[in-house]
Amino acid sequence: MIHLRGHDAPLEDENPSVVMSARDEEVFKVIGEEGLSMFTFDGLRRITGVHPETLSRSLERLEEDGIVAKSPEGYNVTDKAKVAFGLRPAYGGDKRVPILHTFLPYGTSARVVISALKGRWFDTIRWVGMAESEDGVVMKWVTDDGSAVVDARFASGQLDIEARVAKEADLPKAVRAAHQLMGRISRLYSSARPGSRVMMMHIEYFKPYAM
């Protein structure tokens, strides 16, 4: 549970719950809804639509409270925050639209492709962050206008791509962004296996549906 407090109020280390201001709660709510364990400032800014200075102050306070920690790759959600807020898995949910499901090529490590994708901006989508668990790795991008978030989940030799949009009118942009991501992943798998053809097996595309 998130409790509101003034920023100067003390944080009780003995209590697993964490209290924060309304603005900081709003920012961390987005982090929790996306299930992020690592994210960038710019990616979070595009998703939240919060002014950069306001977001910077919120992240500074969250860092002071031990909720996030700054790293060379951006920000990491601390173990303390994961326990206190019970962050859910970073993939799936009612708000997301399934776009593509495919088996990945045999003989090529997904880790190589994940490493090449990590932190990359391309076409109309910007890097947000990722989360890793026993179930796999989820990587997230957001469209340049912040209207859609695209997830790519690598797990058990399979790839699933989903999107979250605020309005049905933004769904075509999300689908286009998902296909741009799919094209980049295909090229990475091809380059990881010199002389081989891109092999995306049993690809399923899901038809957009009314929200």
- The pLDDT tens digits of the residues spanning 22-43 come to 888 888 888 888 888 899 999 9
Query: How much is the pLDDT for 150?
Result: 94
Query: How much is the pLDDT for 54?
Result: 94
- The pLDDT tens digits of the residues spanning 82-119 come to 776 666 555 555 578 999 998 888 777 888 889 999 99
Identify the structural domains of the chain with CATH numbers, from first to last: 2-85 (1.10.10.10), 96-205 (3.30.160)
- The pLDDT tens digits of the residues spanning 39-97 come to 999 999 999 999 999 999 999 999 998 989 998 889 999 988 777 666 655 555 557 89
Name the pTM for this structure: 0.77
185 to 46, 120, 146, 200: CA distances (angstroms):
23, 12, 22, 10
Q: Report whether 128 contacts 138 (CB < 8 A).
A: no
Q: Report whether 126 contacts 139 (CB < 8 A).
A: no
